[in-house]
Chains A and B, each alone.
Chain A
């Protein structure tokens, strides 16, 4: 753990530092700052134009609505599954643990295809039955929520599982032996010790949910003013030569996602106490 020992600085140190900074500047910093610059090139005009376009406003509202639902579902599911994976023994636990990561390595387009095959209105496996029961999944908000929940499914679990393993069960057992019920133990003992990991997982899910594009493109039908989310609107506006609006919408989306991530990673205490 004593890896922060100051090593003598050689020419190599500065060469490596310079290389890394130049690489990140050219790949990330400069391009991102150009988009910010484009957004504000005419003062606040671009933002005003975007926010007075009813389709864009609708798309932003739909995105927030979908993202909030997806994050809520994934948080409840994520906390439950993490506790089950770490604290309980059941047949198939190893398989479940491996399968949970699956959504991260599947292409968003394949996610869209998979959901369409299951819930498509005409020839999906379950789609027609659900439609007869009055439940429209594909090309409706429910389908968009499912696509979004799919792609961000493992993010909360990946943050929670290592922390839950690290803290062990001593305190929980003590609480239980002193008469606390399962809910009280969870709320008073478990939750406070995993709160930063949980918050970070939630923020990652939120960023991923706000930004989902491919899977939503297939499952939503992409109709402006009805099922078009913000990322889909960026594509349409850009190709429609309304670049100012595309930049402004992008800026708003990126702002929420990056700001949330930065705030949490700055606030979150470092995990290893001697890590600087």
Chain B
């Protein structure tokens, strides 16, 4: 039941002693074809985005960032993705904990429910949330066209990330260590802080990074839900799309590069944070 989860760096990738051989003629040909396709599909197009954004030096970046509507969209996107990531860290870890340590009927069903946000098309995810939290809400909660709709949509699509990274680590973790700590007089809080948190921190970080990266790049689930109101519920992806539709590809590319930069910074910050937490334990 693992989904789009990366391996913790160096975990499984180094488990076996490598028995790799050097390339034969046919595998060399295969590598050549694979690299050509990968370059044509992914590398060249993405490089063009970076080139396009830097076409005019810093000018395009400055113009784009000083556009108040774009700045507002970027602020909203980063802000909501951050809040959602924090909620995911808390609830994702809690869900993983209940899935691994608790046992009750219907647990298997919960596993399937976690994967639904991955399987649902994003536009359908928006429609789904609109049915309970939109204008026709049976419980009278209407978040459509407000900032909270952005929060809700991001929360839905990023649900599985932390759960699916923490779950396997928790499965490997031996409860006897916690019992030993408890029998030596450690309080529950101390056990949590000194035993569990350091062990789970790398997995939580990896999940948080994925969740944040997905959050700032989300588009499909917001289309029907947020209304894309300028300066209010418009996110960065929508700004990029508007620039493309207006034929301003340079501005679109510069917002795209900014988004990539933010994702990169977040991932580096989280790595540093993990090191600090792991060392303290």
Chain A residues close to B by CB (< 8 Å): 1-7, 13, 16-17, 19-21, 23-24, 26-32, 34-35, 38, 77, 80-81, 83-84, 86-90, 96-97, 99-119, 125-126, 146, 149-150, 153, 155, 158-159, 161-162, 165-166, 168-169, 182, 204, 207-208, 210-214, 217-218, 231, 234-235, 238-239, 246-247, 250, 253-254, 257-258, 260-262, 265, 272, 275
Contact = CB atoms under 8 A, between A and B. Distances in A.
A86 B16 CA distance: 11
A6 to B, nearest CB: 7
B49 interface: yes
B41 interface: yes
A126 B39 CA distance: 13
A3 B172 contact: yes
Contacts of B100: 3
Contact of A28 (B33, B113, B223): B113
Size range of the interface on B?
Answer: 35 or more
Nearest to B2: A159
Contact of B97 (A16, A109, A207): A16
Nearest to A18: B98
B217 A250 contact: no
B15 interface: yes
A261 B115 contact: yes
Contacts of B175: 2-3, 5, 7
B15 A106 contact: no
Contacts of A102: 42, 46
B186 interface: no
A113 B128 contact: no
A141 to B, nearest CB: 16
Contacts, number: 280
The 10 closest A-B CB pairs, nearest first, are: A211-B121, A107-B217, A114-B45, A213-B220, A34-B131, A117-B48, A214-B219, A118-B45, A31-B132, A89-B20
A1 to B, nearest CB: 7
A24 B61 CA distance: 41
Nearest to A218: B244
B249 A113 contact: yes
B119 A250 contact: no
A155 B120 contact: no
B253 interface: yes
B118 A29 contact: no
Contacts of A81: 34, 38
A110 B256 contact: yes
Contact of A84 (B5, B34, B98, B111): B34
Interface in B31-54: 31, 33-35, 37-38, 40-46, 48-49, 52
Contacts of B246: none
Nearest to A211: B121
Contacts of B95: 20, 23-24
Contacts of A265: 1, 111-112, 115
